[in-house]
């Protein structure tokens, strides 16, 4: 038992509680037995009682979102869950880290290791020196590093869903590192809380469409992580689609087997071996992954099959849980030495 | 057969084609055998190819929405379907009428007969002199006046749904004129095409809520029309709700019977008598009105029952069809002497 | 702290885990710090691994639903959550109670105090002698009795939503006991898990309709409970509707104020007074109740307003949580002397 | 103008009007200016007023579905739209054809040219002799044969969507004939009208999942048609998914370009050349295909792009219109020499 368990709870600050990921983070933190939310912080135009943004939180968290104030945060918290957009995050992180705070950053700012790649897909990076310090927060692949991290780059939703499906098979050399296709779908909460014609209910409901084909910023993240796991350059085509539902994500992935003898059973065995001790990955054989089986949970379900000589892998998760807030809590649990599933049932 | 049937088609201009009602109007006009869309017109910030707003229309209507131009419209059309918001409409109508054009106005600007009532609920009226000329375009009650009208005030969706349910029963004196409750629900297209937090998909989906309780602008319209039909002051409580679906509307209406002897059969008989020749009202007995039975049609379904000594009336329609565009086409058919159902199957 | 807290966890059996309420109950029990699920039991045609019915539960509850076996249950549990339909429940309850087990019954079998009323709406009652023992499990009105109960009749979803809205106002005599109208809507999970044409996705989606008008079995339950609270006969008209969403419920209630001087503020004050200490009722003033604000929580939100001389009350809850499983857990917490909110965040 | 246009309307019988495709067929026929529905016929357990099955049709088609009766049908109709399942269809077709009736068959029974393939995927074929007579009713590829056909095998929804996307590119040799991946999604109406746990609203809503991976019966149909078009064996992987919406279909297709020099522009040019005169195919460049742009229309939208060296083609249609009933009407128009778009606006 850590010191923090024996006595008082860990104090956690949430920055950016007025977005969907912030909201979901608050909900999971409220259930967690070892932490307390010490404060909520946001940009100047997003201040006020948190239940003004999310009336569901009334009577659960009678707290105001206040202006980001490093002095106040450092006095009252030891860990910050940073749920703000890219670019904003790398403005806050240096201050938070200099104040000695642990940070779990939900944005993309510390995920891409090469600042040139970051600049190509996002904008110039203003905190390059801290990229090496950041640990990519995918526990199923980087648990040990997470345990000792002070700054976590919490993975993107599509990367989590894709990497959990492909990682073990690439690591074991069962599938070719090139020519992979990730056909992904997401619920609309993945697009954030800001209203837009694309997400206006009558335009989005009873609709389904591809978007950001060849231009989605999660593609370089997926490539970087998978290349590191495979220890070789991985190339893939990533095509996301919007699906008319609140939350949930499903990847249908197509790959080539390296050996002719690969079977569905062999693929499943490799996944089972890799995820045997993973609390939040389920290797499916009797049913295929489906959004309904993972939504509002921190699970990622995966299944792999040989079909007509091609490897097909399905993976599903809740974009707001295992794809964002739940994974952050899981990382927090690991950082503090708590059981990985604490507060995540 | 009118002259227009013998020869060329009637030329119709649509003003405000870039909203949902405009879009729906275009779709029905394209199917109509006796009319042609001669032009599309809109405000300065809504110009361009109509399929840029609604890609569904590609290859169906290769036409641009141009800036409202009275000279151009009057040269090329004889009827204008005016699908713009209140206040904008009463800016256009004087010009259109002075140019001798027939107008079907979808806005509320010419629905309320008393300019003081209009001002209370909307804004000061700038075309008071033309209020008397306008005919309320509810064919089931004002068919003869519509046939001779030059300016139609096309009814609101909630008023159409409420009045078709209550009108005959009030007219025949079966129910009390006071104490009526209209509990209504609508699909989200009723809120228009402009994005807003309230209609952002993840906020609206899997949600249901009341809105504008005691303040909805359709309430005075319903009261005015029902009072005219009942030939006495009608008082009612109108409570609308947002339902997570694209389109459709259902009113659940509660009233007191005037005589103790009123039965479900008597209520149904009165409705059947009144709507015996109405092409687009169906009096239901075997099933209750449901949105699925009317959506994408110009029908309004009604059913009345005595339950525990209270009169309950249900009515359902598609807010974009019988609640807007379809009703406008129906009015147009009557104005031109065509069969009322032409192009409305 | 009770004895059970000091040592091992309370063992709970769930009977009927393969329905939606059973599933939801399991999910909340898994999060509860003081209980353990000792077994799952069901009818002969609903046996097998629980994750065969609900794959979401894989890796969370590796347990089979076994045939109902009183000996086995009584050996391994002290509390039974009985999530089976009416009639089936009153077959099991006598056995469970005779074996000394505490029971929380989700069915209607012990809710109606008068067996004649039960027979009229359901079927002949086969355990009349135990009706007096059963406590109606609505904590906001019967907390003390619940604390000492051995058999809880867990309330219906519509009754919970209606009674929480109307109870305090009737108790304080602010509204008339007759002429109340409850216009209610529910998500489709309320209809249970058995497939049916009415709930077939393409028939139910993008649809909205009334059902069971004047015949819904929750009406006599609402009347009985409200009459007891008001200490006079309450008469009301109850009209439920199906709304195209998974879960959630909203009641729009219309009543007459008894005194002319009643205001929105007075109504709100009475609700606030009554629910000042209620953990799971929120009296709304800044926003109206909406399904999105309560879904996946145990809250019931209420708001009351005077509009045009009529009292309008809105209430919303999640039919599977405060309307079923969450309320059962809340009752369990009270029975065991735990904080009422334990495991219900 | 054909003889039939000059005088009375063509009489059409619909067999199987009580399914979704039958219902949609009725709706389009009611709008068609040159045909009349002479009768509705069905199996013994699906008889009665058609508006008993689909109350939307009340007042539009006051007709009963009667027991299939070849004598009656042949007396009163010259064309039969056969909307029954496979196997049932090939029981009816011999009788209809022997009576000299033209038939458009919605089932798979006459689509697969090789009875051995049919038997492998469906069941033994009982009308092998008529396979050669049947014309595959995809007008964009077989217009001339359709014009002279007496028996049309109306294509499946997925095959229509896939072939319209891939056909021209394979025909022109721009993409490789092997290694094609068709990742498809469909609205739930595609699964038919029979209730089932999979399509129960609370199980299907807010859900998304793959199904029939490697086993869907439309795969051999797609392969056969594309192989004929490409004049070489085409191999592909077909993976369908269920999407929570009523109707609509979208294919995301991945292929290899044969020449390195292929560009998005070249792909688009080939599609534009091929579909230049096609009334119901739209080649998209400014927007990508989306379900909302095609739903309730007979259009199929396609777009092709080179992305990272891979050809990606998207295609979208309404599974009940271009994927079934609308395509049947289009085939009928061609068979009778009417403009292909008649009644299909």
Report which secondary-structure segment, H or E, holds D136. strand D135-136
Q: Is B222 on the interface with C (CB under 8 A)?
A: no
Contact B288 C209 (CB under 8 A): yes
Say whether both A31 and A123 belong to one domain: yes
Spell out which residues of chain D touch residue C193, defining contact as CB-CB under 8 Å.
197, 200, 202-203
Same domain, C103 and C50: yes
- Cβ–Cβ of D246/A210 closer than 8 Å? no
Q: Is C66 buried (19+), middle (13-18) or exposed (0-12) by CB count in 10 A?
A: middle
Tell whether A290 and A167 lie within a shared domain.
yes
Q: Do C292 and A59 touch (CB under 8 A)?
A: no
Look at residue D327 and tell me if it is in a domain.
no
As a whole number of angstroms, the distance between CA D156 and CA D138 comes to 10
Inform me whether the C-beta atom of residue D309 falls under 8 Å from chain B C-beta atoms: no
Mean pLDDT of C244-272: 96
Domain termination site, one of D133, D168, D192: D133
How many domains does one find in chain C? 2
The verdict on a CB contact (< 8 Å) between D246 and C20 is no
Share the mean pLDDT of chain B: 96
Q: Which of C201, C206, C207 has the most D C-beta neighbours within 10 Å, making it the best mutation to test the interface with D?
A: C201
Tens-digit pLDDT profile for residues B233-267? 999 999 999 999 999 999 999 999 998 789 999 99
**A163-206, pLDDT tens digit by residue?**
999 999 999 999 999 999 999 999 999 999 999 999 999 999 99
Q: Is there a single domain that holds both residue D168 and residue D299? A: yes
Asked if C201 lies within 8 A of D199 by C-beta distance, the reply is yes
Same domain, D14 and D91: yes
Structural element, H or E, at residue B250: strand B249-255
Nearest-CB residue to B202 (from A203, A206, A246): A246
pLDDT 10s digits, B302-326: 999 999 899 999 999 999 999 999 9
Q: Is the pLDDT at A260 greater than 90, yes or no?
A: no
Tell me if B151 sits within 8 A of B313, measured CB to CB: no
Rounded to the nearest angstrom, the minimum Cα separation between B310 and chain C is 8
Contact yes or no for D185 and A185 at CB 8 A = yes
Interface test with A, best of B202, B207, B320 (most A CBs within 10 A): B202
Assess whether pLDDT exceeds 80 at residue A3: no
Close Cβ partners of B132 (under 8 Å, ≥ 6 residues apart): B113
Residues of B in contact with A201 (CB under 8 A): 188, 199-201, 204-205, 244, 246
What is the model's pLDDT at position B308?
86
Which of A201, A243, A249 best tests the B interface by mutation, with the highest count of B CBs <10 A?
Answer: A201
User: Please, which residues have CB within 8 angstroms of residue D35's CB and are 6 or more apart in sequence?
Assistant: D9, D10, D11, D12, D29, D79, D332, D343
Q: CA of A181, closest CA in chain D: separation in Å?
A: 8
Same domain for D258 and D182?
Answer: yes
Radius of gyration from C-alpha coordinates of chain B: 20
For residue A233, tell me if it sits in a domain: yes
> What mean pLDDT value characterizes chain A?
96
What's the gap in Å between the CA of A327 and the closest CA on chain B?
21
Chain A / chain B CB contacts < 8 angstroms: 64
Average pLDDT, chain D: 96
Q: Is residue B28 domain-resident?
A: yes
Same domain, A129 and A226: no
Looking at beta carbons, which residues of chain D come within 8 Å of A290?
207-209
Q: How many CA atoms lie within 13 A of B250 on its CB side?
A: 27
**Same-domain check for residues B171 and B273:** yes
Which residues of A belong to the active site? 157
Chains touching B by CB (3 or more pairs below 8 Å):
A, C, D
Other beta carbons within 10 Å of B156: 24
Nearest CB among D55, D279, D297 relative to B56 is that of D297
The shortest CB-CB distance from C56 to any of A60, A206, A292 is to A292
> Which one of C71, C99, C133 terminates a domain?
C133
Alpha carbon distance D310, D312 (integer Å): 6
pLDDT score for D7: 60
Confidence check: pLDDT of C47 > 50: yes
| C330 belongs to a structural domain | no
Per-residue confidence (pLDDT) for residue B7, from 0 to 100: 60
Tell me what pLDDT residue A2 has: 42
Q: What is the CATH number of the domain that holds C79?
A: 3.40.50.720
Examine the domain organization and report whether D65 and D172 are in the same domain. no
Chain D residue at shortest CA distance from A186? D208
**Has residue B5 been placed in a domain?**
no
Q: Would the pTM count as exceeding 0.95?
A: yes
Are B189 and B116 within one domain? no
Say if residue B224 is in the same domain as residue B315. yes
- Subunit contact D199:C202, Cβ cutoff 8 A: yes
Spell out which residues of chain D touch residue B294, defining contact as CB-CB under 8 Å.
56
Query: Nearest C-alpha of chain A: how many angstroms from C234?
Result: 32
Residue A343 forms part of a structural domain:
no
> Tokens 């399904």, residue?
C291
What whole-number percentage of chain B has pLDDT above 90?
Answer: 96
* Cβ pair D296:B296 closer than 8 A: yes
Q: How confident is the model at residue D259 (pLDDT cuts 50, 70, 90)?
A: confident
- Phi, psi of B16, rounded to the nearest 5 degrees: 90, 45
Q: Quick check: C201 and D206 CB within 8 A?
A: no
- For residue B316, the chain C residue with the least C-alpha distance is C209
Q: Is C201 an 8 Å CB contact of chain B?
A: no
> How do residues A202-249 score in pLDDT, each as one tens digit?
999 999 999 999 999 999 999 999 999 999 999 999 999 999 999 999
> What is the average per-residue pLDDT within D232-257?
98
Q: In the predicted model, is pLDDT for residue C158 greater than 70?
A: yes
Strands (E), chain A: 10-15, 35-42, 48-49, 64-67, 79-82, 102-105, 135-136, 151-153, 180-186, 209-210, 236-242, 249-255, 281-283, 300-307, 310-317
Q: Testing the interface with A: which of C52, C54, C59, C292 to mutate, by most A Cβ within 10 A?
A: C59
Report the pLDDT averaged over residues B112-120: 97
Range of the domain at A54: 10-133
Q: Which of B46, B201, B209 to mutate to test the interface with A (most CBs of A within 10 A)?
A: B201
- The full length of chain C comes to 345
* D308 and D182 in a common domain: yes
Taking CB atoms and an 8 Å cutoff, what residues of chain C touch D244? 201, 205
User: How far away is chain D from the Cα of B294, in angstroms, using its nearest Cα?
Assistant: 6
Tell me which of A120-134, B2-16, B268-282, B320-334 is least confident: B2-16
Rounded Cα distance between A218 and A231, Å, is 20
- Is the residue at B335 inside a domain? no
Q: What percent of chain C has pLDDT over 90?
A: 96
Residue % of chain D over a pLDDT of 90: 96
Tens-place pLDDT, residues A31-70: 999 999 999 999 999 999 999 999 999 999 999 999 999 9
Per-position DSSP letters for D36-95, written without gaps between them? EEEEEEE-GGG-EEHHHH-GGGTTT---EEEE--HHHHHHH-SEEEE---TTHHHHHHHH
**DSSP letter, residue D175:** B
Write the residue in C196, C206, C247 that is nearest to D195 by C-beta. C196
Residue B240's CATH number: 3.30.360.10
What are A271-311's pLDDT values in tens digits? 999 999 999 999 999 999 999 999 999 999 999 999 989 99
Give me the pLDDT at residue C239, please.
Answer: 98
> With bands split at pLDDT 50, 70 and 90, how would you rate the model's confidence at B5?
very low
Does residue D313 lie in a domain region? yes
- DSSP string covering C280-319: TEEE-SSS---GGGTTTSS-EEEEEEEETTEEEEEEEE-T
Contacts with A248 from chain D: Cβ below 8 Å: 206-208
Q: Are C314 and B210 inside 8 Å of each other by CB?
A: yes
Q: Which of C157, C161, C251, C300 is catalytic?
A: C157
Determine the pLDDT at residue A4.
43
Tell me whether A205 touches chain B (CB under 8 Å): yes
Cα–Cα dist B201/B185, whole Å: 18
Binned at pLDDT 50, 70 and 90, residue D161 comes out as very high
Proportion of chain B above pLDDT 70, given as a percent? 98
Q: What are the chain D neighbours of A205 within 8 Å (beta carbons)?
A: 245
| More confident: C1 or A61 | A61
Interface contact D285, partner B, CB < 8 A: no
| Rounded (10°) angle between helices A139-147 and A157-171 | 100
C250: enclosing H helix or E strand: strand C249-255
- Locate D35 and state its tokens: 């045909």
- Provide the pLDDT confidence category of residue C70 given band limits of 50, 70 and 90: very high
């Amino acid at each position: 038992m850590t010191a923090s368990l024996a006595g008082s709870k860990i104090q956690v600050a949430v920055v950016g509680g007025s977005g969907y990921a912030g909201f979901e983070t608050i909900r999971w933190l409220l259930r967690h037995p070892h932490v307390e939310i010490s404060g909520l912080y946001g940009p100047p135009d997003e201040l006020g009682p948190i239940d003004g943004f999310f009336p569901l939180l009334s009577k659960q968290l009678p707290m105001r979102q206040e202006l980001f104030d490093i002095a106040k945060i450092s006095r009252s918290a030891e860990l910050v869950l940073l749920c703000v957009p890219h670019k904003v995050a790398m403005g806050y992180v240096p201050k938070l880290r200099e104040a000695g705070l642990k940070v779990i950053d939900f944005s993309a700012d510390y995920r891409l290791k090469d600042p040139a790649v970051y600049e190509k897909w996002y904008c110039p990076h203003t905190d390059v020196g801290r990229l090496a310090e950041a640990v990519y927060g995918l526990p199923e692949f980087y648990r040990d590093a997470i345990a000792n991290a002070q700054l976590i780059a919490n993975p993107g939703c599509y990367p989590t869903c894709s990497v959990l499906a492909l990682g073990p098979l690439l690591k074991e050399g069962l599938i070719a590192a090139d020519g992979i296709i990730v056909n992904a779908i997401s619920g609309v909460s993945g697009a954030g809380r800001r209203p837009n014609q694309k997400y206006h209910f009558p335009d989005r409901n009873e609709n389904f469409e591809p978007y950001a084909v060849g231009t989605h910023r999660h593609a370089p993240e997926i490539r970087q992580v998978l290349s590191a796991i495979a220890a070789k350059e991985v190339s893939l085509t990533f095509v996301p689609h919007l699906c008319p539902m609140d939350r949930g994500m499903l990847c249908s992935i197509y790959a080539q087997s390296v050996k002719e003898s690969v079977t569905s059973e062999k693929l499943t065995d490799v996944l089972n071996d890799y995820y045997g001790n993973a609390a939040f990955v389920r290797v499916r054989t009797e049913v295929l992954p489906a959004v309904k089986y993972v939504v509002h949970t921190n699970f990622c379900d995966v299944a792999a099959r040989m079909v007509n000589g091609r490897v097909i892998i399905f993976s599903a998760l809740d974009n707001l849980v295992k794809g964002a807030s739940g994974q952050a809590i899981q990382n927090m649990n690991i950082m503090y030495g708590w059981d990985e599933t604490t507060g995540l049932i």
